[in-house]
């Protein structure tokens, strides 16, 4: 991926903090670099079974998600920085010309 990286912010707000969610939505309305979402999770999807465990198949480390979960429980929201790729302004037109 060629191009500069631009950081976007995502506010994940607990379902129990609806007034905060609405306030943040109004505050950042029209700001393309900020997204405000209501936490859609209801409960932990994984069942805890003490019996035999299969080897971990995931490649990525999930510790960051646990930290986000802790912030949502403690504060009612979490702010997550997301790196996205951005093409140079003329990149799309250069490809069409080829």
Q: Where are the domains of the chain?
A: 1-41+60-86
Residues with Cβ < 8 Å from 39, sequence gap 6 or more? 12, 13, 14, 15, 72
Report how far residue 48's alpha carbon sits from residue 15's, in angstroms, rounded to the nearest whole number. Answer: 24
**Mean pLDDT split into 10-residue runs, the chain, 98 residues:** 68 95 97 93 62 62 75 92 69 54
Statement: the pTM of the whole predicted model exceeds 0.85 = no
């Amino acid at each position: 991926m060629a191009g500069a990286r631009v950081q976007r912010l995502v506010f994940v707000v607990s379902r129990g903090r609806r007034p905060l969610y609405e306030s943040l939505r109004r505050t950042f309305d029209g700001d393309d670099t900020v997204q405000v979402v209501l936490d859609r999770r209801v409960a932990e999807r994984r069942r805890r079974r003490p019996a035999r465990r299969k080897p971990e198949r995931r490649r990525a480390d999930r510790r960051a998600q646990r930290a986000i979960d802790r912030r949502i429980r403690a504060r009612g929201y979490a702010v997550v920085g997301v790196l996205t790729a951005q093409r140079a302004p003329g990149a799309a037109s250069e490809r069409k010309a080829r």
